[in-house]
A and B are shown apart, each in its own frame.
Chain A
Amino acid sequence: MKTLRNYLDKIKPNFMPGGKWAMFRSVFEGFETFLYVPATTSRSGVHIHDSIDTKRTMSVVILALMPALLFGMYNVGYQHYLAIGELSAVGFWTIFFFGFLAVLPKIIVSYVVGLGIEFVVAQWRGHEIQEGFLVSGILIPLIVPVDTPLWMIAVATAFAVIFAKEVFGGTGMNIFNVALVTRAFLFFAYPSKMSGDEVFVRTADTFGLGAGRVVDTFTGATPLGQVATHSGGDLVLHNIVGEPLSTLDYFLGLIPGSIGETSMLAILLGAVVLLWTGIASWRVMLSVFVGGLAMGALASLFPSTVYPGSMLSPIDQICLGGFAFAAVFMATDPVTGARTRTGQYIYGFLIGVIAILIRVYNTGYPEGAMLAVLLMNVFAPLIDYFVVEGNIKRRLKRARKA
């Protein structure tokens, strides 16, 4: 570690004003402050600094995403070998390695495109490089199906970084969650590669690994995809080779879906990290789950074959699809969410309600978590405004009484 610090100190003068690479100062600073906490301190007045700055915050979130990412990689391999009927023939590491090879290109594409744009914009405007994309870059691969083409992810990432973030002024200024804008762009621009039965399980080989013929009983529909196309009779969801699934399977997450969203267990591990370090707001997280359970319970009170989603139990509702992932990693985004405490309860609760509402009663969309979070992003400032206004009014009333 010492040698790295020494090396950075040695090359630093080149990047300072007057140095030969002064124009790349923002790039250098970006890397330096990512590796080490900056030594600069406040020069005037009294300040209390937390030891955790934005870059450190982002690192913790990435750490919290690791269980979902690693499990997602394993699950990609698991679904693949299940589809070609060789699951019992291959070991744990082969399965994981297949998923790793399938997911890695997505992570690389998302980071290269997103950070590339961030670097160019920072150079162009003479800003420091902003760290916001560190998290978005890993969220994006986690919320797409495994067979979404890389160039589509590249186009969508570029669109989201430019139009959802940079035009609003960069990190901390965006109205919409960048990763979800990427997903929404993909969802509406290339629906055939973002939904349906073909994209959630990789049936072809990855870089030559895992070639094989798909078994006859294979169907690639996700549980929520099966719900959306279900008609009449009892609702029994099954995995990709036709075996029935239980709530425990939804919770553990060895089911087809977007890469990082399937396992409630892995996501909850991440949630523990986020809550224990105090990075994410427990108010938002809790109220999203409460909202989802409430709406799920309401829907299951009136089961109807017209809306097959209403036949799921509330627990199944929050375990399936992207609901838990959205609750833990998307709704808790401090930039796009509500900031006042009361506001956070309202914001989270409405995300939960709307996600299930769209999922059950809009037959066009099998999953509503993405749209719910984006919709509530719009309303977050309004909620905060009324909470603050209400507080002012209450205090004025109290002052007049006294």
Chain B
Amino acid sequence: MLLSKKNREILLGPLSRNNPVIVQVLGICSALAVTAKLEPAFVMAISVTAVLAFSNVIISLLRNTIPGSIRIIVQLVVVAALVIIVDQVLKAYAYDVSKQLSVFVGLIITNCILMGRLEAFALGHGPWESFLDGVGNGIGYGLILVIVAFFRELLGSGTLFGYPVVPQCLYDWGYQNNGLMILPPMALITVACIIWVHRLRNKDLQEK
């Protein structure tokens, strides 16, 4: 009942076939901004998942009482409140990462994925489904963020989670880290490559 076939689809669909970043192309800005290193990307993924899941639940609970004409404002208030909580938690327990993420935690409020899920899903479904939808979309977003950050940190800095992984002997032979990978354009190209591979594997997603 709790994880019926339909609910499983709600939870797992956004991971691949309905992915918010590579299929719906939402939330691209933050995917470019926070993926130079794995650690901030990982924290950002968790933050967005948390905010998305709980704001989905809250809006879903309120969905019959919110007047249609002011629903965007209500949604923004709920999301903003949750974002501030996340921001404060990060400042308290992960200060360094919170400094790296700087304004982008606050900017979760304007993340298109959030408004999209609240409008398209939470306003029309019960709290449990909305929770699953939020978690699924959050993880789908986070997955792409972590993949992008993996390649960018590996090729751009030669490290993963800050630990050097490119052996010193490669540097001695003349290998150099690719400085372009640290710059935002390569995040866009990395996302494009992921979309490319994804569409090669899912032919029905290819546009005619």
By a beta-carbon cutoff of 8 Å, the part of chain A in contact with chain B is 149, 151-152, 155, 163, 185, 188-193
Distance of B48 from chain A, by nearest CB (Å): 28
Contact of A185 among B174, B176, B180 (CB under 8 A): B180
Q: Are A190 and B189 in contact (CB under 8 A)?
A: no
Q: Are B176 and A192 in contact (CB under 8 A)?
A: yes
- Chain B positions within 8 Å of A185 at CB level: 180
Q: Are A193 and B176 in contact (CB under 8 A)?
A: yes
Q: Are B176 and A188 in contact (CB under 8 A)?
A: no
Give the residue among A188, A190, A191 with the most B Cβ atoms within 10 A.
A188
Cβ-closest chain A residue relative to B175: A151
Say yes or no for B178: interface residue by CB 8 A criterion: yes
Q: Are B174 and A188 in contact (CB under 8 A)?
A: no
19 contacts between A and B (CB under 8 A): A149-B174, A151-B174, A152-B176, A155-B178, A163-B189, A185-B180, A188-B179, A188-B180, A188-B183, A189-B178, A189-B179, A189-B180, A189-B181, A190-B176, A190-B178, A190-B179, A191-B179, A192-B176, A193-B176
- Chain B positions within 8 Å of A190 at CB level: 176, 178-179
Cβ-closest chain A residue relative to B181: A189
- Chain A positions within 8 Å of B181 at CB level: 189
By a beta-carbon cutoff of 8 Å, the part of chain B in contact with chain A is 174, 176, 178-181, 183, 189
- Chain B positions within 8 Å of A155 at CB level: 178
Where chain A touches its partner, the secondary structure class is helix
CA distance A163 to B192 in the complex (A): 10
- Chain B positions within 8 Å of A152 at CB level: 176
Distance of B70 from chain A, by nearest CB (Å): 41
- Chain B positions within 8 Å of A149 at CB level: 174
Cβ-closest chain B residue relative to A150: B174
- Chain B positions within 8 Å of A163 at CB level: 189
CA distance A188 to B180 in the complex (A): 5
CA distance A149 to B179 in the complex (A): 15
7 residue pairs, one from A and one from B, having the closest CB atoms: A189-B180, A189-B178, A188-B180, A189-B179, A190-B176, A149-B174, A191-B179
CA distance A163 to B188 in the complex (A): 12
- Chain B positions within 8 Å of A193 at CB level: 176
CA distance A155 to B175 in the complex (A): 12
CA distance A65 to B190 in the complex (A): 35
